[in-house]
Amino acid sequence: MVTIEEKTANQTIAKLPPKSRVPRVIQTIRSIFTPVSFLKATQQEYGDIFLFESKHFSSQIVLSNVQAIQELLTADSKLFESGSGSKIIQPLVGANSLILLDGDRHLQQRKLLMPPFHGERMRAYGQLICDITNQVTSQWTVGQSFLARPNMQDISLQVILRAVFGLKEGERYQQIKQVLTEMLDTFNSPLSAVLLFFKSLQRDLGPWSPWGKFIRRRQQLDTLIYQEINDRRHQSESQGEDILSLLLSARDENGAAMTDVELRDELMTMLFAGHETTAIALAWALYWIHYLPEVREKLLQELKSIDVANADPTVITQLPYLNAVCSETLRIYPVAFFSLPRILKEPMQFMGYDLPKGMMLSVSIYLTHHRPDVYPEPEQFKPERFLERQFSPYEFLPFGGGNRRCIGAAFALFEMKLVLTNILSHYSLELMDKAPLKPVRRGIVFAPNGGVHLMVKDKYGTGK
């Protein structure tokens, strides 16, 4: 990757990737309401590097070319900014969110937030994840049906409240759970998600208007979070190794602590990015495991090879087929269809194109995961592909990549594997959705249409 200034004079003719001839407003509508068919059709016509022009957003180059992805993610991060390309989520997480930061501030916050999601600190949450899973699933009754996504959201939200806030059961714990769930449900359909994409619609027209309802729920959640921050600031000693304790004790190079607003925004980021995404991935995993009986049988056989009840969490998370099932779940329908964008700070030559300053580049995780040259029969759910070969971080990137890769990736996989193992070891389930499920927009992420309808056939290991 070289700057245009380094090129010779006779090579300075501007050249951009091909772009769709479809009107911008139509491209925008299709990308929101029918993203899968839109992405596939555009890639088929214009290739794996194309220019997407939206009615209300900056033009962006969409990449699903593996070489281009590698070139982008291995380039010097100082050549790009990323935070300004993710403003769509600012109403959810706030301006001080790690996702919206750039430069040294982004690097400092990332270093601060990473340790709890890795190593011994992460493994310490193993028993907590299993206990919460047991607590939620103990409400399931043989012969009754349930929706996987909200149940998995209950589990993942409780896990993140304990890991991030260090909160135990109590009134504030329950209030945060309820309000956050209601707030996220504001954008639970493609139609309601339009509010995030069009700033002109973000108008508070009273408590019954869609945006007004969201604003009031956010204010409720803010009040609860600021109460928790205030209480913890006035405690005489740290309460543990949860992320809030870590952030409260952090100091910058001048010895200054984080402000309440900065703390609130990082906590909101962890709550938003750290639980709903995992819940959706778990719902998809339960769907595929029960949609394909041979996958379920292979998984149960592997689980029988260990003493699940007494096994160290690390042993469970290293099971090859379990890992393959989780990886294939994240491949076929990634929760996020795009990685966080990069915006050029200077004109640049990239993959034979001369790109102007300010151009946005976005990796399409969905299209990359559906390349038939990398994943033969990409529409088929085949965990074995992850046993047969190892994919590069430019071919398999459900958590994004480079300096913007999700810091909670290892924790999310850890939680997925323990929750699935716990459920499959205690329950026999039947999928009620006989027709194939497809992803639908839920805010800026994508969830299984209908939430995955399952029925409890049998309950074992816990007393029927």
Rounded to whole angstroms, how far apart are CA atoms 338 and 361? 10
Q: What is the pLDDT of residues 398-413, one digit of tens each?
A: 999 998 999 889 999 9
Q: What are phi and psi of 427, to 5 degrees?
A: -140, 145
Q: What is the pLDDT of residues 428-454, one digit of tens each?
A: 999 998 889 999 988 888 999 999 999
**Among 80, 243, 247, 59, which Cα is nearest to 164's?**
243
Q: What is the pLDDT of residues 325-354, one digit of tens each?
A: 999 999 999 999 999 999 999 999 999 999
First to last CA, the chain: 63
Average pLDDT, the chain: 87
Q: What is the mean pLDDT of residues 28-37?
A: 87
Rounded to whole angstroms, how far apart are CA atoms 356 and 343? 10
Q: What is the CA 56 to chain-centroid distance, rounded?
A: 24
Confidence band (pLDDT; 50, 70, 90) for 456?
very high
Q: What is the pLDDT of residues 3-19, one digit of tens each?
A: 434 443 334 444 889 88
Q: What is the pLDDT of residues 135-167, one digit of tens each?
A: 999 999 999 999 999 999 999 999 988 888 888
What was the pLDDT predicted at 273? 82
User: Does residue 376 carry a pLDDT above 80?
Assistant: yes
Q: What is the pLDDT of residues 287-333, one digit of tens each?
A: 999 999 999 999 999 999 998 888 888 899 999 999 999 999 999 99
**Structural domains of the chain in order of their starting residue, each with its CATH number:** 4-459 (1.10.630.10)
What was the pLDDT predicted at 117? 76
What was the pLDDT predicted at 433? 81
Rounded to whole angstroms, how far apart are CA atoms 177 and 199? 27
**Among 72, 84, 164, 70, which Cα is nearest to 117's?**
164
Q: What is the pLDDT of residues 127-142, one digit of tens each?
A: 889 999 999 999 999 9
User: Does residue 463 carry a pLDDT above 50?
Assistant: no
